Structure 1
Amino acid sequence: MMGRALTSRAIQPAADTLSAARGFLLDWDGCCAVDNLLVPSAVRFLRANRQRSVIVSNNSSNTPGDFLRILSKAGIEMQAEQIVLAGVEALSRAAASGSRRTWLLSDPRMRFLARRLGVCLDAETPDLVVLLRDTRFSYLRLEKIINALGSGASLIVSNPDMTHPGRGGTIRPETGALLAAIQACIKIPESQLEIVGKPAAGLFLKGCAILDQDPASLVMIGDNPATDIAGAEALGMNALLVVPSPEQFFRGLVETFRIA
């Protein structure tokens, strides 16, 4: 079943797809969790399927350790390699780039991880700008970024998401919204720009490798049609869209398809 919701007409195709699946890739924000609070029915699903599941998320504000602690408190014991995050992957790309001067725009906790990975942080004269979700983004930072890019600096962006869901139906601005502000000011040549997260193939393929399965053997579960669903389908992976809500969706998986 490719990118469809769990409606009455879709129940049998979904059941067939799920029964044949050898594992699951799951989004985090707006899917398994909202504002890092786990969805109760998703907890039931993950407890039963933790050994054949990988979290594949565009999140760039947290580390795998953060997620593991949240999961562990809910009785879900997973390994660090089962958490694939766009922010961490972006920092790994920066570390491997050989850049001597990297300006990182991010949550403060990600700076510590960047240093551990060997990223040389220098916001004054960067030859590489790494854009994660930065809640302190400002006019002055925007001005500095576009002038760094205009002087030849490269840009690595964790993900293209414009928003993600917050509690109570609120909307949280995401990294893609910050990228849109930058691109409104300056045209960035393709050779200078890399976007790491979904729908690009990298995170999906890393999840497949962790489970030692090909894409056609897995099911992607996510809430964003443009990233979770489109990215999975481009690789020939079955995909399920979390609607009408994460709680109702996972309850349907647990109760209707009896996979937990």
Structure 2
Amino acid sequence: MKFVKYQATGNDFVVVNGDVEKLNLSDYETIKKLCDRRFGIGGDGFIVIRSHSETDFEMLYYNSDGRPGSLCGNGSRCAVAFAYEAGFFEGKECSFMAYDGIHRARFHSEIGKVELEMADISNIEIGTQMVILDTGSPHYVTLVEDLSDLDIVEAGKAIRFSPRFAEDGINVNFVEQSGENQVIVATYERGVEDETYSCGTGVTASALGEYVLSGQTEQGQHEVNIQTKGGNLAVRFLVSDGNFEDIWLIGPATKVFEGEIE
């Protein structure tokens, strides 16, 4: 099997061309082994790109535990870069089918940056210093004073495996405000069951969650700059009548290496 390894702000993926490679996508154990960092290629997820009748391509995403996952924002940006290199589309703009429907994207190949359109958000559960929302994957977002004082894995596990979320899981994002329209985000990801260097749907949820939790009410266009352990991203969104629309996740997608494995 030929594969390409991509990373997006430290979130890394094994990507394959499903039109060329004949894969048994129900063989979850093999997918898990491919993502294993000691006995396989190593990655936070496994991505298959294949042709689709309605869009330029389709993206199938699997978590590192081998199981099918929901939308992965960083993985989607890597999928766009891979699809461009593999000839699924030409020019800057494309559309693709993912877990939660059709997405548009713009690939700036000269700088290796992808702008990814996310689904509109209108349903947000607001609690005490936390919000829950779905940005293609379910996310729990909470504000903290100092991320350096927090054990992300233990704090994330406590929420992810709490009685409410234990069965289906939830991604947990801890957000520290670092300036005007600037935040630092750390994410515990379900499926990986660990802290990852970055999470695309998580930083999107964090940008929207920080807007809600900080008491902002200003309508119109907003952009939040986000720092993760793996690098910097931005989330641009429109606030209209309390809803979040025209949401774009912006950040790099980098090819690391390619190879073959049996």
Structure index of larger Rg: 1
TM-score, normalised via structure 2 length: 0.24
TM-score, normalised via structure 1 length: 0.24
Larger proportion of helix: 1
Larger proportion of strand: 2
